[in-house]
Amino acid sequence: MSAGSVVVVGGGQAGFQTAASLRQEGYAGRVVLVGDRHPPYQRPPLSKAYLTGRVDVAELAFRPGDFYARHRIEVVPGPVTAVDRAGRTVALATGEHLAYEHLVLATGCRARRLGVPGQDLRGVHYLRDVDDASALVEHLGRAERLVVVGAGFIGLEVAAAARQRGAEVTVLEFAPRAMGRAVSACVGDFFIGRHRAAGTRVEVSTGVEALLDDGDGHVRGVRASTGEVLPADLVVVGVGVLPRTDLAEAAGLTVDGGVLVDDHLRSVDDAAVSAVGDCSRFVDSRSGARVRLESVQNAVDQGRCVAARIAGRPFPYTALPWFWTDQLGSKLQIAGLSAGHDRAVLVGDGVGGPFSVYCFAGQRLLAVESVDRPADHMAARRVLGAGGDALAAVTPDTVRREGFRLRDLVAA
């Protein structure tokens, strides 16, 4: 063990934030960020502006190169191959060992494989990191027919970018809805409509049985569960992610769909180990449910929370979840978690234009999904974040009232 040193495993959004916040909080010990061969970078543009060529790799970096030295953050190449909790050290692939007083796991996720014949053919892409994105950009330029498997956020963002680049695009979704787990039915349907209006074919309740070989090891098409064969020279699979928990498991930490942590984001087994971001499964302070979230907000706020604790200013994790996606010029912003809502009230210009959907469980507001209504989103973050009377005042009846604007409640 080493007094006064933090090792952060993973130089993504959560790992970067943890390291940066440690210094902002005045932590004086050693901070080592174990990253990969790229300086820490943002992922959201990878399925958006990066695919349409509006940003380049250098612009993805969170901070300029000299930031780390200036803040005494040692960025070392990984991966971490093992954790010795008894000895409080981690082993690196280089053979080196690093001692820690606090270990922060920020290992993120890997893309879930499709699990059908032909999934390893050339021309079949996944999108999780900048190397995936660079490979995809190269092929998108040449592709005429793209099939996207999975109408989740990433699949739909890729479909939008490919459409904007002129490819013929089909999206196949196994579930009856787009972005099913994360949004209400009206928002999912709105986005399917947007994609169809842009000329993309979207088929829901349609699975994939096989990816077909052109005889040369390259994909030539997709056989859908309906029996139809869709020709394709490029396939992008966006069927979700799995948390990267192998290290934690091997170290004997409890893992169940993510590293299980307490209300301060410490492993339930070992107070010297924390888990933040996409790999962390924590108790949502509002619903009481254990959740694992994949968002910039979650990575950033959890990194801040753990850094503050290590620097001597502990507080339980209670940040309000929020999220965004951007497709075909429509922005969706979500505040709160809609899981478990039993009614959704749409307020705004109807299903064609800007609107917000208020998701309630009984009388209690759980989440607000705003399509091209940023003011509603910002107000929703305030109201949901504050809780108490301000939140209780927002009921299905209030939001249905003529002229209702959430921001008026915040100003009051």
Ligand X SMILES: Cc1cc2nc3c(=O)[nH]c(=O)nc-3n(C[C@H](O)[C@H](O)[C@H](O)COP(=O)(O)OP(=O)(O)OC[C@H]3O[C@@H](n4cnc5c(N)ncnc54)[C@H](O)[C@@H]3O)c2cc1C
Site string for other proteins, 63-92 (x = CB under 8 A): xx--x--x----------------------
| Calpha distance 96→101 (Å, rounded) | 17
CA angle 117, 119, 123 (to 5 degrees): 130
* 140-148, 161-169, 199-207, 276-284 -> range binding ligand X (CB under 6 A): 276-284
Terminus-to-terminus CA distance in the chain, angstroms? Answer: 53
Size of the residue set binding ligand X (CB under 6 A): 36
- Assess 149 for contact with ligand X (CB under 6 A): no
* One-letter amino acid of 68: Y
- Assess 404 for contact with other proteins (CB under 8 A): no
> What is the separation of C-alpha 388 from the centre of its chain, rounded to a whole number of angstroms?
28
Size of the residue set binding other proteins (CB under 8 A): 24
- Assess 326 for contact with other proteins (CB under 8 A): yes
Cross-strand partners of 115: none
Tell me how far, at minimum, the Cβ of 369 lies from other proteins, in Å: 14
| Calpha distance 372→326 (Å, rounded) | 10
Strand order in the sheet with 208-213: 208-213, 219-224, 229-231
Range 10-29, binding other proteins (CB under 8 A): 24
Site string for other proteins, 305-324 (x = CB under 8 A): -------------------x
- Assess 236 for contact with ligand X (CB under 6 A): no
Q: Give the residue with the Cβ less far from ligand X, 206 or 274.
A: 274
CB atoms within 10 A of CB 124: 21
Spatial CA neighbour of 46 closest among 140, 132, 108, 106? 132
- Assess 128 for contact with ligand X (CB under 6 A): yes
Spatial CA neighbour of 365 closest among 349, 380, 351? 380
DSSP state of 218: B
| Calpha distance 310→101 (Å, rounded) | 10
* 99-107, 178-186, 265-273, 375-383 -> range binding other proteins (CB under 8 A): 375-383
Tell me how far, at minimum, the Cβ of 63 lies from other proteins, in Å: 7
* One-letter amino acid of 57: V
Q: Are 318 and 285 in contact (CB under 8 A)?
A: yes
Q: Give the residue with the Cβ less far from ligand X, 34 or 347.
A: 34
Range 312-331, binding ligand X (CB under 6 A): 323-325
Kindly list the residues in this chain that would bind other proteins in the complex (CB under 8 A): 24, 42, 44-45, 63-64, 67, 70, 296-297, 300, 324, 326, 331, 333, 373-375, 378-379, 381-382, 407, 410
Kindly list the residues in this chain that would bind ligand X in the complex (CB under 6 A): 9-15, 34, 36, 43-44, 46-47, 78-80, 106-109, 127-128, 154, 244, 247, 277-279, 294-297, 299, 323-325
